[in-house]
């Protein structure tokens, strides 16, 4: 389907950046909000980001004006009559999202696509609030949406293929990397990241080590671009806690992050936004006492194994449930979480027999959550051991 014009509904943190990305691709946008002040703030934010590009010499002032003029900041229904795609980015509450979807269903042309930027809510439930469930899908951008490359395109129970194709092409026009996934709590990236975060939290509680020292091991060994505790503080510990609880309800105790995260949230220590989380953001010296006794080489080795294997295990489950292809999972984890290698390709390069053996030992030591997944077992039994046999999760 040809996308002539896009509406972004909700001009907050995500909506403003999504509108910016569309305007930069020269696609006409209507940015809509119930709050006049939010529209005003979005306008200032978009001008500021564009000016940043002008200052760096990446955009001429004339081009910046032209792109900015693609956006209409409006709360009026008549500006939506010729929209091909609407991207909803209102707060994460199902009742509100359904209300917005009902409204868009009433105003937009019958074939227009209704997409949601939800982090975790059910696309099918939103779709069921409309008369066109087959034209509804998820289009999940990552924060900050003007720089992060990944977009998860999520199929609900009845989403048309044409809708997924159109949203994939639209993402590519925005110079983003789309991956198509099926609906499941947490989708791909947040689900896998939260599983590895819960494992690291458990390690912290069991070994009485500091967030600082764990983050240092993760980054020193190039397992992720930033430590999980720095990342959680940046995203907001209240959000991390909500997501962990939702995923624990959906998938069980491997997502239980331990008591510390909940305690911090209760004390309103929510990370960067409140000045205190796992780290303190008041003065540079405030974190001086965070270092614990140095890790023993054995502890460091265990942490690396627990982090990489928890990441691999959740990726393998997502793969086995048919939520996304091996390729999409690895692309999503590289583009959305910044991992240097996708978790399935990493297992292939380690050797699937080696991974199998490691997990068998970890199951004995740490429990059932490390039981080797069926897809791994099958491959090992068939002698498909990854890179060294030219076949594993991928062909080489
Ligand atoms: N912030 C993130 O890091 C992030 C990342 C990925 C996805 N998301 C998801 O994106 C969505 C929006 O998150 P956000 O952080 O941008 O929220 P936000 O609170 O910054 O912005 C939401 C905006 O929606 C507006 N709004 C409320 N009701 C409305 C209505 N009926 N019609 C039009 N506008 C309305 C609000 O006035 C506000 O400006 C959520 O579903 C969230 O889970 C957020």
238 in ligand 1 pocket by Cβ < 6 Å?
Answer: no
Q: Whose CA is nearest to atom 15 of ligand 1?
A: 13
**pLDDT tops 80 at residue 188:** yes
234 in ligand 1 pocket by Cβ < 6 Å?
Answer: no
Instruction: Give the pLDDT confidence score for residue 284 in this predicted structure.
Output: 72
- Stretch among 27-41, 130-144, 277-291 having the lowest mean pLDDT: 277-291
Q: What is the pLDDT of residues 211-231, one digit of tens each?
A: 999 999 999 999 999 999 999
Q: Which of 29, 21, 32, 39 has its CA nearest to residue 4?
A: 29
CA of 88 to the centre of ligand 1 (A): 8
Q: In whole angstroms, give the CA distance from residue 337 to residue 97.
A: 26
Instruction: Give the pLDDT confidence score for residue 289 in this predicted structure.
Output: 67
CA of 12 to the centre of ligand 1 (A): 5
Instruction: Give the pLDDT confidence score for residue 119 in this predicted structure.
Output: 87
18 in ligand 1 pocket by Cβ < 6 Å?
Answer: no
* Exposed / middle / buried, residue 288 (Cβ in 10 Å: 0-12, 13-18, 19+): exposed
Choose the residue to mutate in 10, 43, 273 for probing ligand 1, maximizing ligand atoms within 8 Å of C-beta.
10
Q: In whole angstroms, give the CA distance from residue 232 to residue 262.
A: 13
CA of 14 to the centre of ligand 1 (A): 6
The H or E element that residue 366 is part of is: helix 352-366
Q: What is the pLDDT of residues 52-74, one digit of tens each?
A: 999 999 999 999 999 999 999 99
Q: Which CATH superfamily is domain 6-182 in?
A: NAD(P)-binding Rossmann-like Domain (3.40.50.720)
Residue 180 falls in which region: left (phi positive, over 0), alpha (psi -120 to 50) or beta? beta
The H or E element that residue 182 is part of is: strand 177-182
* 150-155/136-141 β-pairing: antiparallel
Domains 6-182 and 187-396 share a fold: no
Q: Average pLDDT in the 153-175 region?
A: 97
Neighbours of 61 (CB within 10 A): 10
Neighbours of 157 (CB within 10 A): 15
Burial 173-204 (b: 16+ CB within 10 A, else e): ebebbbbbbbbbbbbbbbbbbbbbbbbbbbbb
Domain extents for the chain?
6-182, 187-396
15 in ligand 1 pocket by Cβ < 6 Å?
Answer: yes
Residues forming a β-bridge with 32: 9
Is the peptide bond between 144 and the residue preceding it cis, with omega within 30 degrees of 0?
yes
Both structure tokens of 320: 């086995």
Instruction: Give the pLDDT confidence score for residue 258 in this predicted structure.
Output: 83
Q: In whole angstroms, give the CA distance from residue 29 to residue 26.
A: 9
Which of ligand 1's atoms lies nearest the C-alpha of 16? 16
Q: Whose CA is nearest to atom 39 of ligand 1?
A: 12
Neighbours of 396 (CB within 10 A): 12
* Exposed / middle / buried, residue 83 (Cβ in 10 Å: 0-12, 13-18, 19+): buried
**pLDDT tops 80 at residue 204:** yes
**pLDDT tops 80 at residue 40:** yes
Q: Which residues contact 16 (CB under 8 A, 6 or more apart)?
A: 31, 41, 42, 45, 46
Q: Whose CA is nearest to atom 25 of ligand 1?
A: 10
Give the chain's radius of gyration (CA, Å): 22
CA of 16 to the centre of ligand 1 (A): 10
Which of ligand 1's atoms lies nearest the C-alpha of 11? 39
Q: In whole angstroms, give the CA distance from residue 225 to residue 339.
A: 7
Q: Residue 381 — φ and ψ, nearest 5°?
A: -65, -30
Per-residue DSSP letter, 222: T
The H or E element that residue 314 is part of is: helix 297-320
Q: Residue 2 — φ and ψ, nearest 5°?
A: -80, 130
33 in ligand 1 pocket by Cβ < 6 Å?
Answer: yes
Q: Whose CA is nearest to atom 21 of ligand 1?
A: 12
Instruction: Give the pLDDT confidence score for residue 291 in this predicted structure.
Output: 67
Catalytic residues: 119, 140, 152, 190
Hey, which CATH number is domain 187-396, 3.40.640.10, 1.10.1040.50, 1.20.1560.10, 3.40.50.720? 1.10.1040.50
């Amino acid at each position: 389907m040809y996308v002539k014009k896009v509406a972004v509904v909700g001009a907050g943190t995500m909506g403003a950046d999504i509108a910016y990305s569309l305007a930069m691709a020269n696609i006409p946008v209507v940015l809509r909000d119930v709050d006049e002040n939010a529209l005003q703030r979005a306008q200032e934010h978009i001008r500021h980001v564009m000016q940043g590009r002008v200052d760096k010499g990446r955009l001429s002032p004339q081009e910046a004006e032209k792109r900015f003029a693609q956006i209409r900041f409006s709360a009026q229904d008549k500006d939506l009559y010729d929209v091909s795609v609407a991207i909803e980015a209102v707060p994460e509450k199902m009742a509100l999202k359904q209300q917005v979807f009902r409204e868009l269903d009433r105003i937009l042309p019958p074939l227009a696509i209704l997409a949601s930027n939800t982090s975790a809510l059910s696309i099918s439930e939103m779709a069921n609030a409309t008369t066109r469930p087959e034209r509804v899908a998820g289009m999940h951008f990552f924060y900050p949406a003007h720089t992060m490359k990944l977009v998860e395109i999520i199929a609900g129970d009845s989403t048309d293929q044409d809708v997924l194709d159109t949203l994939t092409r639209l993402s590519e026009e925005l110079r983003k990397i789309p991956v198509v996934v099926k609906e499941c709590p947490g989708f791909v990236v947040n689900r896998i990241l939260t599983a590895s975060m819960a494992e690291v939290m458990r390690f912290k509680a069991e070994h009485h080590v500091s967030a600082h020292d764990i983050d240092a091991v993760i980054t020193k060994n190039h397992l992720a671009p930033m430590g999980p505790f720095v990342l959680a503080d940046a995203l907001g510990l209240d959000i991390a806690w909500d997501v962990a609880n939702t995923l624990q309800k959906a998938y069980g105790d491997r997502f239980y992050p331990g008591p510390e995260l909940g305690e911090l949230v209760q004390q309103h220590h929510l990370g960067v936004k409140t000045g205190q989380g796992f780290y303190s953001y008041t003065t540079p010296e405030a974190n001086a006492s965070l270092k614990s006794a140095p890790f023993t080489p054995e502890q460091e080795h265990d942490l690396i194994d627990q982090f990489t294997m928890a990441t691999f295990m959740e990726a393998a489950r997502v793969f086995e449930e048919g939520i996304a292809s091996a390729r999409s999972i690895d692309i999503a984890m590289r583009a959305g979480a910044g991992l240097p290698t996708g978790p399935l390709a990493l297992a292939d390069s380690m050797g699937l027999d080696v991974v199998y053996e490691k997990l068998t030992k970890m199951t004995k030591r740490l429990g059932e959550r490390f039981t080797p997944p069926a897809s791994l077992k099958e491959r090992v039994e068939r002698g498909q051991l990854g890179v060294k046999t030219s076949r594993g999760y991928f062909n080489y």
